[in-house]
Structure 1
Amino acid sequence: MIQFIDTQKENLIAAMLSDKLDEENLKTVHERIHQIIDKGHKVDFYFEMENFEGYTLKGFWEDIKTDAAHINDYGKMAFVGEKKWQEWAAKATDFFTSSEVKYFDLKDKEQAKIWISK
């Protein structure tokens, strides 16, 4: 499930992720990506993961397609989580993109919000 968080930064997609993300969840994110890049901005992300279990198979596929199409449109990414595999996923994302990617433990989410807002 995705619960979007309102922010003051117009090129930031901020959301709380929980349970499993499905294809419809990812299509919603994709629409928001287009809203930002259509204004000529790079897209920054803040994802706070609590009780997050990953993706359904169709959700994972939708995420890969979206990232492949927009990888050069991404700016900074803050991943905030509670599990080691989430930290690993953030490091893998950093390896495959030219974006600045940082992982923060859930207890450090305020620090993550400051970092992504700059």
Structure 2
Amino acid sequence: MFQYLNEHTEELVAIRVTGKLDQHDYASLIPEFENKIRQYGKINLYWEMVDFTGWQPEGLLEDLQFDARHADDYKKIAMVGDERWEEWMTKLMKPFSSAEIKYFDLLEREQALSWIQEKRL
């Protein structure tokens, strides 16, 4: 399951994920991502994981297909969590995207939000 955060504005997709993501979550998420990509070109992603346990098989398939189509449509990605596997997952993402990708611990949430929202010259 997911929820949009207050910081979800303009070219920033800011969401908190919990539990397991499934195809129904992606049926809502994908149109929002694609709309922002159409509107702004490259976007930023703040992905906060709280008690996140991964994906249902159908959700994982949706995620992988979306990521393959849009790997170069991100400027920056902030992955925020508190599990070792979430940090590893972040490292695995880097070779497949041109985005600047950083992992932050949940205790560094404010730092992650500042980083993802800072504008480049």
TM-score by length of 2: 0.92
1:93-104 matched pairs, under 5 angstroms: 93-104=93-104
Equivalent residue, structure 2, for 1:111: 111
Q: Per the alignment, do residues 85 and 61 of structure 1 end up closer, same or farther by CA in structure 2, a change over 3 Å counting? A: same
For residues 17-48 of structure 1, what are the alpha-carbon distances to aligned partners after superposition, in whole Å with 9 as ceiling and x for unaligned? 10000011122221111111221421211011
Q: Which residue pairs with 1:46 in the alignment? A: 46
- Please state how far the C-alpha of 1:8 moved relative to its aligned partner: 6.4
Seen in structure 2, the aligned counterparts of structure 1 residues 8 and 23 have a Cα distance that, compared at 3 Å, is: closer
Unaligned runs of 5+ in 1: none
Consecutive unaligned residues in structure 2, runs of 5 or more: none
Conservation of the 8 A alpha-carbon contact between 1:45 and 1:78: yes
Kept after mapping to 1: 8 A contact 2:8/2:15: no
Identify if the C-alpha distance between structure 1 residues 58 and 100 changes in structure 2 by more than 3 Å, giving closer, same or farther: same
> Which residue of the partner structure matches residue 58 of structure 2?
58
Q: How does 1:22-101 map to 2 (within 5 A)?
A: 22-101=22-101
Identity %: 37
Across the aligned residues of Structure 1 and Structure 2, the Cα RMSD in angstroms comes to 1.2
- Report the number of matched residues: 118
Q: Tell me the residue number matched to 1:12.
A: 12
